[in-house]
Chain A
Amino acid sequence: MTVVKTSMRNFLAHKGRMALSAVAVLLSVAFVCGTLVFTDTMNTTFDKLFAVTSSDVTVAPKDAEAEDTPQNGVPESLPASTLEKIRSVDGVKSVEGAVVSMNVTVVDSDNDNVGATSGAPTLAGNWTKNDLRSMEITSGHAPRGPGETMVDSDTADKHDLKIGDELRTIAQTGDFKARIVGIASFTVTNPGAAVVYFDTATAQRELLGGADRFSQFNVTAATGVTDAQLKQSVSAALDGTFKIQTAKEASDEGREDVGEFMDVIKYAMLGFAGIAFLVGIFLIINTFSMLVAQRTREIGLMRAIGSSRRQVNRSVLVEAFLLGIVGSVLGVAAGVGIAVGLMKLMSAAGMNLSTDDLTIKTATPVTGLILGVVVTVLAAYLPARRAGKISPMAALRDAGTPADGKAGWIRGLIGLVLTGAGAAALLTAASADKASDGSMMLGAGIVLSLIGFVVIGPLLAGFVVRVISAVLLRAFGPVGRLAERNALRNPRRTGATGAALMIGLALVACLSVVGSSMVASATSELDKTVGADFIVQGNQRIVPQAEKAMTDTPGLEHVTRYKTLDATLTSPDGKTDDDGVTAADPTYAEDVRRVTTEGKLSAAYGTDAMSVGSDYAAKHGVHVGDTLSVAFKGGETAKLKVAAITSDDVAIDQGARYISIATMEKYLPAENVPPNTIMFAKAEDGRADQAYAALKKSLDAYPQYQVADQTDYKQELKDQIGQLLNMVYGLLALAIIVAVLGVVNTLALSVVERTREIGLMRAIGLSRRQLRRMIRMESVVIALFGALLGLGLGMGWGATAQKLLALEGLNVLDIPWPTIIGVFIGSAFVGLFAALVPAFRAGRMNVLNAIATE
């Protein structure tokens, strides 16, 4: 009990010194709990949504996938006659045919897309009774005839739509206009979908391309009939060509799809929280090391009067435990705040989430608490062990600054071995022939070199700090020298503080190298291979009416259609795969130039000809002249002759098998031909600018498609990768913030530890300004040390990753020097910033008290 009491007193006595460690624990725990609460809340929202949108039993076409429209762009449907069959089944109270399509774009009269953003679907369908379970009409009325539509209120609010406004719906089967006659509001949280409703006949005609068909049937059970019973009797009445689900099965299916996506988000965010934890560990280790060092005499006294090593050891761990509890409890609370913040952020991005659905499972605070406490206690273990080793003699020794920790040669050796192993793994990864082997090595290399650097950090600190100081600090004379010596006096502490910053910055450097290599590789490949002037694509496959608008554009030398087809290939050695083929116009050979290892690419666009990639050819021993069997989905099986083999040493269309559209048309009935995935165009000679403007104008009515010339396309690509990187940097900011707290923590505790020294310096004439500058410079040196190590390590990782990904077409290594140098200089400012408070407090110290401090 005494142990707990002393620990408690120590903890309270030093709460100021523990504050930053607590904040580090708090931040990491908060991020973990925030992630959990946020994803759980999202899941709740979707669960509620699916629960009310699924009818008792749903009958849909066999192949219907909730999220996918079939390749021809028209939703799967069932004949209306099925309705009668279901109606006569025992236990059916009512049945209703529903039409729904996700392959639509809805635009207002200004041709602005009013559909969903943020990845949620835009749905068009008929207004059914089933919809009444999740929505209510808040103004106007349901659509009653052609030319009438109803939208959901979220969409109406977002795009300022009113009753009487005209909307145009762009479907695979054509465009059609309708005036808004009603607005319906969701009675549950709508996470972001945009919904437009029509009357059944209009929906059938315009969305499914014919009358008397439905996408699915919503069956309601009579009283006393369970969903399962109903499903059974409906199944018995129908043949096996239907997908029949109870409400539970349907909502489970939807939940599963969403759940997978949510899990990706969850684990990605938890990964970043993990990095923050890792960085926090350094901070906690430093704090406890410093507390133990400062308390050496006290601990010696405890030992002298009879405390056992274990008791001393345990007293430190109990303090860590208390710290963990305080940090975690606050962290759990802050985590809920973070979750709410994320939900608000999502709302800004167009995704509505309601705090009514806020879901805090028991597991969340429990996970947060356990994680926070365990990590804190583990981190404090080494310092605690060191405390246990303090000899009773320490009580008798003169109290000065604690003995400076020296980095031992054993540590150096271990660090060197680890770093060496890491470097070897990275080299192996860089020269790997197969991406899968290489990525294992890359992972091992990253982990080993990181640990190696952390272990060797204190030794490197001695060297690196001297170099940085020689360049930077010498200019500041004696104050610079004092700062340098202070940074060097405890290499272990400097090493750990720098290492914390190193981790975050290494990841930033690595990703920035990979990202900019991606842009550079893509740009260089585009320059090399793309001959087309314009590229048209969007998040809806190109509907025929848009294709026509494009083909009709004046000033174009040619327009290339490009379709991806589902097909099963059988090679001469009898192996099959479902990777499909690419059907394009022969002009595609000019639009995207491909190097062939055998044959000529243009020949692949001949009748009954095709090309395959070199990897496929090598794997299956295929040569020009061989015949492959291609079974088109929804069409016939064709025997196609290989006329060209394309080199797979590319990023664009790697492994694509080309056939001509003419060949495709021979084997695939028109109704099963899919819309274009992407289209290309070439301007007539010397008229590129006019053609670009004209093309943009023709596609004005189809805002879901982006028209880009090569320059814009590259820019878009760059922007996309830039956005992705920014998001990752944003998440890494957490780890970097914790690392900066670590620098502040080290400085603040050092200032306390050096109170007498500071007093002495002030007494013999060091001005406040000089003192503050000294602390700031120490901080800058530590930050730059961390940055240098991190950036070096990260660039190494990035370069290795690029070498490895060169196998996947990432051919160009591009080190983004402005970013790297920016981060380095930024780190100096981070150092200055971190020193603000410690320097201010040191400056404020009363000289006399400082001298008098024991």
Chain B
Amino acid sequence: MTSAVSIPMHGSTGGRTAVAARARQVVKAYGSGETRVVALDHVDVDIARGQFTAIMGPSGSGKSTLMHCLAGLDTVTSGQIYLDETEITGLKDKKLTQLRRDRIGFIFQAFNLLPTLNAIENITLPMDIAGRKYDRAWLDRVVETVGLAGRLKHRPTQLSGGQQQRVAVARALAARPEIIFGDEPTGNLDSRAGAEVLGFLRRSVTELGQTIVMVTHDPVAASYADRVLYLADGRIVDEMHKPTAEAVLDRMKDFDARGRTS
């Protein structure tokens, strides 16, 4: 199975398509000839709008590469990627930057915040850069949702790891992007802080209708998602809807076993 195209192009969410992002026959290869390494091997995938999608897979499976390509951070060797109806493959750096700024939110594993800016400045940074006015009420709601009201004037160094990631979540949410990409957003947190952050992500999908794509190798983190995609050797090998941590773990053990016997 190299395809995770299972969502009808036109769904229920009004004017916009039900698919927030899609990849078609995406290949990402490094090097050439003998040393050619294929990170993504003709991947087709649809990311459903208003859903929390997790991408899982062992190290080197291409899960981060897929996310980077979907987010316009990395270029593809061939194939197309669309954000809503916009094809982002082949866009120039300037357009891509604008697209990331205006339509995409990011949460990285670590080093999400600029140390020179305080929490609220970090949260509004993408909108400031764009020179966009922000929706005060929405901002307040986001800040309240992630529970940072009392710490907005703090610099990142004065916040705990969990708080820093919550600021990053708030930043991603504040600009109301069409889609948020998370690259192991809880990878550096202890389980309690991680659960907190994942809880906010879950709530932002459920309550705010946000679309989120998250790369993770943690079955517990994946269990917060609506749908889990499994990658191995640059291909999508499986997917799971409404996952639980146990089911994800079992599935992964399967892959591991298969990987070892094959």
Contact = CB atoms under 8 A, between A and B. Distances in A.
A366 interface: no
B171 A757 contact: no
Interface string B112-125: 11111100010001
B60 to A, nearest CB: 15
Given A477-B128, A765-B102, 17 more contacts: A400-B115, A477-B131, A478-B129, A486-B116, A756-B111, A757-B115, A761-B129, A762-B97, A763-B106, A764-B101, A764-B129, A765-B129, A766-B129, A767-B94, A767-B97, A848-B73, A851-B73
Interface residues of A, number: 28
A760 B110 CA distance: 10
B100 A765 contact: yes
Closest 10 CB pairs of A and B: A765-B101, A485-B116, A478-B128, A767-B97, A765-B100, A764-B126, A756-B111, A765-B126, A766-B129, A489-B116
A848 B129 contact: no
Given A479-B129, A762-B97, A763-B100, A848 B111 contact: no
Contacts of A766: 97, 101, 129
A753 to B, nearest CB: 11
A723 B131 CA distance: 51
Interface string A472-516: 000001110110011011000000000000000000000000000
Nearest to B116: A485
Nearest to A484: B116
A768 interface: yes
Given A478-B128, A478-B129, A770-B129, A761 B114 contact: yes
Given A482-B116, A486-B116, A489-B116, A400 B73 contact: no
A760 B171 CA distance: 12
Nearest to B108: A851
B24 interface: no
A333 interface: no
A762 B115 CA distance: 15
Given A489-B116, A848-B73, A760 B98 contact: no
B2 to A, nearest CB: 24
B244 to A, nearest CB: 32
B171 A764 contact: yes
A848 B74 contact: yes
B130 interface: yes
Nearest to A479: B129
B115 A401 contact: yes
Q: Is the interface of A mostly helix, strand, loop or mixed?
A: helix
Contact of B114 (A482, A765, A767): A482
A485 B115 CA distance: 9
A304 interface: no
Contacts of A398: 110
B93 interface: yes
A760 B73 contact: no
A765 B97 contact: yes
Interface in A764-810: 764-768, 770
19 contacts: A404-B115, A477-B128, A477-B131, A478-B128, A486-B116, A757-B115, A760-B108, A760-B112, A760-B113, A761-B125, A762-B97, A764-B101, A764-B125, A765-B101, A765-B130, A770-B129, A848-B68, A848-B74, A851-B108
A485 B125 contact: no
Interface of B: 68, 73-74, 93-94, 97-98, 100-102, 105-106, 108, 110-117, 121, 125-126, 128-131, 171
Residue among A756, A767, A768 facing the most chain B CB atoms (10 A cut-off): A767
B164 to A, nearest CB: 11
Interface string A830-849: 00000000000000000110
Contact of A485 (B105, B117, B171): B117
A489 B171 contact: no
Contacts of B115: 400-401, 404, 489, 757
B97 A768 contact: yes
Given A478-B125, A478-B128, A478-B129, A764 B93 contact: no
Interface in A164-202: none
Contacts of A478: 125, 128-129
A629 B102 CA distance: 96
A761 B117 CA distance: 12
Contacts of A768: 93-94, 97
B116 A764 contact: no
A297 to B, nearest CB: 14
A398 B164 CA distance: 14
Nearest to B97: A767
Contacts of B130: 765
A822 B117 CA distance: 34
Contacts of B93: 768
A479 B106 CA distance: 20
Contacts of B108: 760, 763, 851
Contacts of B105: 764
A478 B117 CA distance: 11
B66 to A, nearest CB: 13
Contacts of B116: 482, 485-486, 488-489
B172 to A, nearest CB: 9
A398 B131 CA distance: 33
A479 B73 CA distance: 21
Residue among B73, B129, B130 facing the most chain A CB atoms (10 A cut-off): B129
A401 B125 CA distance: 19
Contact of A765 (B98, B112, B117): B98
A484 to B, nearest CB: 9
Nearest to A852: B64
Contacts of B100: 763-765
B154 to A, nearest CB: 15
A768 B116 CA distance: 20
Interface in A709-762: 756-757, 760-762
Contacts of B112: 760
Contacts of A767: 94, 97-98, 101, 129
A749 to B, nearest CB: 17
Contacts of A486: 116
Contacts of B171: 764
A8 B126 CA distance: 43
Nearest to B130: A765
Given A477-B128, A479-B129, A848-B73, A760 B97 contact: no
B134 to A, nearest CB: 12
A757 B121 CA distance: 15
A761 B126 CA distance: 8
A660 to B, nearest CB: 78
Given A763-B106, A767-B94, A767-B98, A757 B114 contact: yes
Residue among A488, A489, A766 facing the most chain B CB atoms (10 A cut-off): A766
B105 to A, nearest CB: 8
Contacts of B126: 764-765
A398 B98 CA distance: 31
A767 to B, nearest CB: 5
Residue among A478, A481, A488, A763 facing the most chain B CB atoms (10 A cut-off): A763
Contacts of B98: 765, 767
A479 B128 CA distance: 9
Nearest to A761: B114
Contacts of B117: 482, 485
A765 B72 CA distance: 11
A477 B126 CA distance: 13
A498 to B, nearest CB: 18
B111 A400 contact: yes
A475 to B, nearest CB: 13
Contacts of A847: 73
Contacts of A760: 108, 111-114
B129 A763 contact: no
Contacts of B131: 477
